[in-house]
Amino acid sequence: MLGKDVANSIEVVPVNEERLFSALTRFDLSKFNNLTVYYFLNCLSKIHLKTERNEIKLKVIDFLRRVQSGKVKMTNIARVKAVEIRLMLELDEEKRKEVFDEVPQSSLPEIFAQ
């Protein structure tokens, strides 16, 4: 695919953020290695920071929450990274405390052992 073709296909049509987000979150992250998941989570955090729509921000946070709770299959290292990113995105101190309370204590040694 050449850059020229891509350039020709561009029109002033807004990107559908919902569709992009749902496409991103549909990847089976358990198949990827940690570095790829790291890129993926960073992508989500950038979307959170750059989007102007609150519902997209909430969707990102919700997705990270699902990662943290184990509903989205991922390695433990990636889960720690997800928590980290969520902490960064929710800088409010109260929220941060809440996030810490949500991390299952029993799994912490297992997480950090890796």
In the bound complex, what is the minimum distance in angstroms from residue 26's beta carbon to other proteins?
A: 8
Site string for other proteins, 12-51 (x = CB under 8 A): xxxxxx-xx-xxx-xx----xx-xx--xx-xxxxxx--xx
Tell me the DSSP string of 74-108: --HHHHHHHHHHHHHH---HHHHHHHHHHS-GGGH
Give the separation between CA 111 and CA 100, rounded to whole angstroms: 14
Q: What is the CA radius of gyration of the chain?
A: 16
In the bound complex, what is the minimum distance in angstroms from residue 99's beta carbon to other proteins?
A: 22
CB atoms within 10 A of CB 73: 11
Site string for other proteins, 75-94 (x = CB under 8 A): --------------------
Give the pair of three-digit tokens for residue 62: 């919700």
Positions that interact with other proteins (CB under 8 A): 1-4, 6-7, 9-17, 19-20, 22-24, 26-27, 32-33, 35-36, 39-40, 42-47, 50-52
